[in-house]
Amino acid sequence: MNKVRGLFLAVAAVVVSGVTLVAPAAAQAACPDVQVVFARGTGEPVGVGRVGDAFVDALRPLVPGKSVAVDAVNYPASLDFMRAADGANEASAFVQNTVATCPDTQIVLGGYSQGAAVMDIITVAGAPTLGFVNPMPPTVADHVAAVAVFGNPSIRLLGGPLTALSPQYGYKTIDLCNGADPVCSNGNDRPAHSQYVEAGLTTQAAQFVAGRLATEAPITTLAGQTHGG
């Protein structure tokens, strides 16, 4: 992952004294067709986590002929939930670098549990807040084809699913809660929070995302309105 991030930083276009230095053609050619950015859940080992792995594995065969790269958001995923802002800052920076260096790449955002909260932050917060200091410009939404979140605490903490909370990203989001999972509903079925793969919800999300990748995303204006289809 560090090598991939280093590549993006190294080949990013920079402006020096009014002269734009464009990334080398070889680096541009290495851009994936689809870039998945996924944040794991609390306590999961470094990587995209079990839900993220299942989601990506289900997605790949649904987009034949397209290269799919995966970035695991680098953040603690610990019981210190305020550190989700660290993940949001890291994810936002990676997405913005991808847009700058690979403008034709379709970006897919995803997260499970606390990782879903990371995605809530970068798609809802338009200004710095509670440790999140790197909001994404509105134009970034044009490059994000889909968002898939699982066991999202926003439903309880923010009063609704991401589909309703984000004008720019909500319509391209699938926000899945497994039955009475208490993290994302008023239920009390704790085991449900660990059964997103078994319940087939990672496959459902992959099918939704594949559909989004196959259609042209609307153009989002600076005012957050959408046009086209």
| Residues 6 or more apart whose Cβ sits within 8 Å of residue 167 | 224
- The residue written with tokens 């689809």 in the block is 34
- Rounded-to-integer distance, Cα 210 and Cα 206, Å: 6
Instruction: Return the closest-CA partner of residue 98 out of 201, 207, 5.
Output: 5
pLDDT in tens, 57-78: 999 999 999 999 999 999 999 9
Q: Are 11 and 101 in contact (CB under 8 A)?
A: yes
Q: Are 174 and 204 in contact (CB under 8 A)?
A: yes
- Rounded-to-integer distance, Cα 227 and Cα 206, Å: 25
- Rounded-to-integer distance, Cα 102 and Cα 8, Å: 9
pLDDT higher than threshold 80 for residue 19: no
Instruction: Return the closest-CA partner of residue 74 out of 29, 115, 123.
Output: 115
* Burial class of residue 30, CB neighbours in 10 A (0-12, 13-18, 19+): middle
Q: Are 72 and 46 in contact (CB under 8 A)?
A: yes
Residue 216 confidence class, pLDDT cut points 50, 70, 90: low
Instruction: Return the closest-CA partner of residue 70 out of 49, 85, 99.
Output: 49
pLDDT higher than threshold 50 for residue 136: yes
- pLDDT for position 211: 97
- pLDDT for position 163: 87
pLDDT in tens, 150-196: 999 987 777 778 888 889 999 999 999 999 999 999 999 999 999 99
Mean pLDDT for all residues in the chain: 84
Task: Provide the CA 102 distance to its chain's centre, in angstroms.
Answer: 16
Instruction: Return the closest-CA partner of residue 150 out of 15, 45, 49.
Output: 49
Is the pTM higher than 0.95? The answer reads no
CATH superfamily of 28-216: Alpha/Beta hydrolase fold, catalytic domain (3.40.50.1820)
Active site residues: 113, 181, 193
| Residue 75 falls in which region: left (phi positive, over 0), alpha (psi -120 to 50) or beta | beta
pLDDT higher than threshold 80 for residue 207: yes
pLDDT in tens, 22-66: 344 444 559 999 999 999 999 999 999 999 999 999 999 999 999
* Average pLDDT, integer, range 122-144: 92
The residue type at 61: P
Consecutive H or E run containing 123: helix 114-124
- pLDDT for position 23: 40
